[in-house]
Structure 1
Amino acid sequence: MSDTGLKQGVAKAAPASEQAIEQPVECLKGVGPALSEKLAQAGIMTVRDLLLHLPLRYEDRTRVVPIAGLEIGRGCRICCTVVSAQSEQGRRPSLFVRVQDATGTCGLRFYYPSAALRNLYLPGVMLDLFGEPRPGRNGVEFYHPEVMPEVVSEGRSEAPEGDQVQNPGGSGVALAGLSTPRLTAVYPALAGLAQTQLRQLVVQSLGLLRQATLIEHLPRPRGDITLPEQTVLACGLSQALHIVHQPERLGNAEETTGGQAEQVSLAHTSRSPIELAQDRLALEELLAHHLSLLRLRRQMKSRHGFVVDAEPKLSRRLLDALPFRLTGAQQRVMQEIRADLATGQPMQRLLQGDVGSGKTLVAALAALDCIDSGLQVALMAPTEVLAEQHIESFRSWCQPLGVSVQLLTGSMKGSEKKAVKALIASGSAQIIIGTHALFQKDVLFRQLGLIIIDEQHRFGVGQRLALKDKGRQPHQLVMTATPIPRTLAMSIYADLDTSVIDELPPGRQVIQTSVVPSKRRDDLIERIAYALAEGAQVYWVCTLVAESEAVESQAAESTATMLAAALPGFNVGLVHGQMKSENKRMVMQQFKAREIQLLVATTVIEVGVNVPNASLMVIENSERLGLAQLHQLRGRVGRGAKQSYCLLVYDAPLSQLAKQRLQTMRESHDGFYIAEKDLEIRGPGEVLGVRQAGSLNFRIADLQRDQHLLPLVKKLAAAATPALESELSTRWLQHRMQFVEV
């Protein structure tokens, strides 16, 4: 099917039974042109789109907490009476309101209060509010709590009618508010739209959903479906939407939809109604995503690309010049890539390899094969640090062969950029390495035959699409140093063939990893001084650039100052993402040249930095990082002949998840095992680094949480009809179909 035909197929009219939710959002009360425009910017154009704008999390506002029972940092609801209110001056003027109930007192604080707000909080006024208690100037305080109803005065509510609860303040006055048996949904933020507005619009949308009969595209439970799968498939789509938007606190699935959808028996599952509803929606979204990638794979296989000469000359010359031989895994992967390039169909291949496995060399060999056939190659890196690392490697390998390798980044001077762009347009530049600058409109390639995308998940979908469109069906090689478990790779990259370099070069020593409490910082600095005196170089990684009140993390700037004072005989450098590119480049060059012995850095050095003499890595606040990121950072050492060490510094006390992650880092150096453990313990370090997988941002699916659904996704995809594929694409991907071909 052509691109045009595909889009026409997706945009077809909705079934009559679903027309109630296919109406534009303007049909909802309170949605005028301005609000409609804000919603459209977020891809919300119809009532259905709003129903699929799913909650991120829930707040329990069903239970009133006495003030004496408040827990710092835990959102809660209190019912109280205003004792006093006073304006306070300072760097930020504020209104401080003292409130009480029968068990104690606390404060409410509102910054930059209006006159109307000051007049609202008068002594004796009774409040029903929700917020997060935090330590403040005057004890426990709520900062800008959500008041529900806004005011209850003299026993009469000025808010809309609602369920009544007894005021724990002791006056016996009933309060109206959100004393509902339901949890309160918290939605992904939309610019210029408050959570209360979103909730009101969703309530209206659920009313229209009750008027519709959603077509169930997934099959009903069959004999070849296992018991847990039967439970997921038995949950109807309409029922699942009601549950996730308005979940009962302690209710069951039958109560949630008011009898509008088929009932689901939970007798044979341990999952709650919310989890079951999430499973049902995630299953359908994952299936839509998977089918779209399979369609892309079929389309790509039907097209004609460049045929690359199967008798490489330049790559053979490079291999002859190297002081080592390729590993067996590298040789196998090269054969797979060459087989793709020789077919005449555009290659779509994912190259996975652990830290230090030699992916970049394989990419360089593939690039030389394409240059042998008169094609240009573009390598896109997510950061300038990584792009400059690649330019150094590619020039050392390719320029002695007479191949022109050029760099193009956003920080280059205008005259430099203009000169490089001219070389690209003429074809004189054969390998072009860069960042986002590569897909600017005025960058024109003469014969772009191969795109190498490093760390693909760090790029936006539109960026990758823009680069692909600069060539006539170019081959694509996607590289990642973040090992992805096979079950995930098959779903995330269903449009790609997968190659894995699962072997490290011989002679690599295992990095010794230790876990160190931050209270032993003096011992740690003493060890660093000894290592520096022995001629080693050291990384010290921090998670922040500057001090933050919100996160108790040692900042890079203050750490560099502290270490420079503690180690006066050595040069301490600093590099972080907020520095100018020229300054970062200069510091990194000084570190590589051993002019700097200790480099303090943020996670900007996570990928691409190669300094063989660096043999000690200190990671501050390691308990805050995910396993994948810790593994990537550790891979910056162990690249030379010296025994290397990684010290994971943590602040006590450790959560159970943090303990599991650090224990995994101590026990294993296998990136694929670490990725599997990352999924197993569900830590914060997502396998893909960001909430973006393949070519789509998911609305509800989470590849860590929902991996148990992937076998069923593949089973359903194998039996899917073209009609099912089209219907699911319409439902889940309608406004994003232009991004499927990436």
Structure 2
Amino acid sequence: MSHVVSGGDLIAATSIQTLKGVGERVAAKLAARGLLTLQDLWFHLPLRYEDRTAILPIRQLQPGVPAQVEGTVEAVERGFRFRPVLRVAIGDASGATLVLRFFHFRAAQVAQFKVGSRVRCYGTPKPGQHGLEIIHPSYRLLADGEAGVLGDSLDPIYPAVDGVGPAVLRKLIMQALDRLPADERLEILPASLLQEQPWPSLREALLTLHRPGPGTDLAALAAGRHPAQQRLIIEELLAHHLSLRRQRIALQRHRAPALRGKGTLAAKLLATLPFQLTAAQQRVFKQIQQDLKRPSPMLRLVQGDVGSGKTVVAALAAMLAVEAGKQVALAAPTELLAEQHLANLRNWLQPLGIEVAWLAGKVTGKARTQVLEQVRSGQVQVVVGTHALMQEAVVFHDLALAIVDEQHRFGVQQRLALRDKGALAGSVPHQLVMTATPIPRTLAMAAYADLDVSAIDELPPGRTPVQTVALNGQRRPELVERIRAACAEGRQAYWVCTLIDDSDEVIAQAAQTTYEQLAAALPELRIALVHGRMKANEKQATMRAFKQGEHDLLVATTVIEVGVDVPNASLMIVENAERLGLAQLHQLRGRVGRGAVASNCVLLYQSPLSMMAKQRLATMRETNDGFIIAEKDLELRGPGELLGTRQTGLASLRVADLQRDAGWLPLVQALAERLLAESPPLADRIVDRWVGSAARYAAA
């Protein structure tokens, strides 16, 4: 992409090897950490700071607050009670004493600490047996009469780079900072914006963060509220947002088939369904219909809770493509989920005379050759499958709509491969992405700037909310009786374990053991076991048998988390629930409550619970709303885990934190619109600075 290159950009792109002390070996170590240019070092920001700009009297030390002190050695003691230990007591004019404690030391060190010698040290005091002590402080012995120079700025502590010592890294960063261009050559953001906000220039912000002066507000830095950080946060969020928008703009320059039929097939499908669409489903289908009429590719994410009816909406969208004589592909991440989509679509579409083909890893030999030929010739208009759909051998006659379910479970290249399948007809297919993991609004704004986001935010009528309780693991015997009673009434139950085999390290009941115990305790029930180490066809067969009512109780690992629909199952027991995240617990709970019978979810936990586990279990008891749960999950876990790092570069933001900095996103969005409209070259420079080559994958 051609765009303006300034003198500042040229300096920024200068190789690290132009710095003093960077030979081939050091350059290779830095490159392994992604540090290749001067700009990379400018943005390798400190994790925290140590304040050696002042000496604090020992009497004023606070437990847990790092500080620098200076004192005279009053006593030295070596001990060997449990392991070698060296204690050095120092005192100062404030009349207080501090103990320095070392567990790793050499004889030469002991000899250094003579009574009466002066020592300056830095560390975090904590209460000890005889007042405050610092364990393994950094220290320096002062010569007689030596005043000891104080630092004129806080000492930055940088993220470690393997094979490059902290002192060497610090020197290299300081050298790189000495080459920072003047403000006007470094600045990219429009002057009008900088005048509207009370931020420093980029040069000033970088120098402040690498060399904060005495009296800098450390609390503001730790909380990400310092103006110097905010200046960088805005630019970084803007770069990620722009890279996603740039992807979208590039893709929308392609042609896509405009599907402007009357919707006859969709209307026929609606008429044959045994249920009415909810208002939310109708609203989202209308949005999709409008998108598909345009000659540019639809890029829409449909998010909705488990059981909200996303598949029906996808099927209606597929009808618009089929009516136009085009093809539709639906990809799901597991065979189990893909098979369920296949069953639903065949059930709905075959009465309309539409064939649905099946393409997964286990379709081999003649059957596979036949399906590939039907897809290539256009004889089959709807194809359902796993990532097998994305393989090179699969050629479509005229693919107009690519539907991807649980898209965050696919790698970026796989999704690109499916999108490119439609390019053979001279256009790209419309893309419909579905997820049952509701995404908080703030995260959706940042992570899906390349997609229009729709939410199916109501459940179909007649669905009874699942009652959730959390019980101590000691109450397992009561649950066995509860299962006996539920199954005696003709209902089915799940018992989910978090490990397959017993492990000494983790106190978790393994699925295998639980299966054996329950089979012994409930001999009258038909009990099955499913886990991730079983062969795919065994797993499928067991799940299918459970769905058809051939088993009363299914003991499983979290492999059943996504997508299996068994309306007769009304009891879900999750063992060691404290080990799972909120999103996973919510997905598991969504396996029950799919029929009209009142359903229950029991979260069994092992004491003691961590604070986070307590909050998670409380959230599960309080609400069934996936969107509220997603917000809470974001609050507890942060965006990286929630999205999955394969999803976007957002998990690896350098300065910004999506949860903390969500308030800036509306400004970032508005600013992105402005830059793309008024100054595309500036937008390109911002993306190149922060995202670089990762930009092409960010929204694939």
How would you bin the TM-score normalised by the shorter chain?
0.7 to 0.9
Pairs within 5 Å for 1:119-158: none
User: What amino acid sits opposite 1:101 in the alignment?
Assistant: L
Aligned match of 2:280: 329
Aligned counterpart in structure 2 of residue 101 of structure 1, from 82, 86, 91? 86
Shift in alpha-carbon separation, 1:198–1:345, aligned structure 2, 3 A: farther
Amino acid at match of 1:210: D
Match of 1:254 in 2: 213
Counterpart of 2:39 in structure 1 is 48
TM-superposed CA distance for 1:295, in Å, is 3.1
Alignment deviations for residues 556-598 of structure 1 (CA, whole Å, 9 cap, x no partner): 3333333333323223323233332112112211211222222
AA aligned to 1:16 is: G
Cα root mean square deviation, aligned: 4.2
Which of 674, 681, 684 aligns to 1:726? It is 684
| In structure 1, C-alpha distance between the alignment counterparts of 2:157 and 2:255, rounded to whole Å | 52
* Deviations, residues 61-107 of structure 1 (Å, cap 9, x unaligned): 99xxxxxxxxxxxxxxxx998979xxxxxxxxxxxx9543349xxxx
Query: Aligned runs of 1:217-296 on 2, under 5 Å?
Result: 217-218=188-189, 230=198, 233-234=199-200, 236=202, 239-240=205-206, 243=209, 253-255=212-214, 266=217, 272=222, 276=226, 279-296=230-247
**CA 1:578 to 1:155, structure 2 compared with 1: closer, same or farther past 3 Å?**
farther
Unaligned runs of 5+ in 2: 53-75, 89-99, 114-118, 124-132, 143-150
- How far the C-alpha of 1:516 sits from its partner, in A, is 1.2
More contact order relative to length (CA 8 Å, sep ≥ 6): 2
For residues 709 and 597 of structure 1, what CA distance do their matches in structure 2 show?
51
The 3 A distance-change label for structure 1 pair 396 and 50 is farther
List gaps (5 residues or longer) in structure 1.
1-6, 63-78, 85-96, 104-125, 130-146, 188-192, 248-252, 257-264
Indicate whether 1:212 and 2:176 are aligned.
no
1:541 is matched by which residue type in structure 2? Answer: V
CA shift, 1:169, in A, is 10
Question: Which amino acid in structure 2 is aligned with residue 487 of structure 1?
Answer: T
User: Which residue of structure 2 aligns with residue 698 of structure 1?
Assistant: 652
Change beyond 3 A, Cα 1:372–1:717: same
Q: Is the 8 A contact 1:80 1:127 kept in 2?
A: no
Give CA deviations for 1:390-411 in whole Å, capped at 9, x if unaligned: 1221222223333232233335
1:593–1:37 distance in 2 versus 1, CA, 3 Å:
farther
Counterpart for residue 92 of structure 2: none
Counterparts in 2 of 1:150-549, with a 5 A limit? 182=155, 184-186=157-159, 194=162, 196=164, 200-201=168-169, 203-213=171-181, 215-218=186-189, 230=198, 233-234=199-200, 236=202, 239-240=205-206, 243=209, 253-255=212-214, 266=217, 272=222, 276=226, 279-413=230-364, 416-471=367-422, 472-549=427-504
2: CA distance, partners of 1:34 / 1:434: 47
Name the structure 1 match of 2:568.
613
TM-score in terms of structure 1 length: 0.74
The equivalent position to 2:599 in structure 1, one of 637, 644, 667, is 644
Q: CA deviation at 1:454?
A: 1.1
Structure-1 separation of matches of 2:436 and 2:641:
11
CA 1:255–1:554 in structure 2 vs 1: closer, same or farther (change >3 Å)?
Answer: farther
Q: Which residue of 2 aligns with 1:634?
A: 589
Calculate the TM-score normalised by the size of structure 2: 0.78
SS in structure 2 at match of 1:470: helix
State the SS of the aligned residue for 2:281. helix
Hey, what's the Cα distance between the residues in 2 that align with 1:43 and 1:294? 25
- What one-letter code is carried by the residue in structure 1 that aligns with 2:188? H
Shift of residue 420, structure 1, vs aligned partner: 3.1
- The equivalent of 1:140 in structure 2 is none
Aligned partner of 1:586 in structure 2 is 541
Distance 1:205 1:608, change over 3 A: same
Distance in 2 separating the partners of 1:331 and 1:175: 76
2:120, 2:139 within 8 Å by CA — same for their partners in 1? no
Query: What is the correspondence of 1:546-561 to structure 2 with a 5 Å cutoff?
Result: 546-561=501-516
SS in structure 2 at match of 1:385:
helix
From 11, 15, 19, the counterpart of 1:24: 15
Q: Matched residues in 2 for 1:549 and 1:60: separation?
A: 41
Q: 1:273 to 1:615 in 2, by over 3 A?
A: closer
Indicate if the aligned counterparts of 1:327 and 1:504 stay in contact, CA closer than 8 A: yes
State the shift of 1:351 in Å.
Answer: 1.1
Residue 580 of structure 2 corresponds to 625
Q: 1:80 to 1:235 in 2, by over 3 A?
A: farther
- The aligned residue for residue 133 of structure 1 is none
Which residue in 2 is equivalent to 1:570?
525
In the alignment, what sits opposite 1:94?
Answer: none
Matched, 1:659 2:614: yes
Q: Secondary structure at the match of 1:594?
A: coil
Check the 8 A contact 1:357/1:501 in 2, yes or no.
Answer: yes
Contact 1:465 1:741 in 2 (8 A): no
Secondary structure of the residue aligned to 2:509 is coil
**Number of residue pairs matched by the alignment:** 633
Contact 2:26 2:164 in 1 (8 A): no
SS in 2 for 1:469: helix
Name whichever structure is richer in helix by fraction.
2
- Amino acid aligned to 1:677: K
Is the 2:578–2:617 contact (alpha carbons within 8 Å) kept by the matching residues of 1? yes
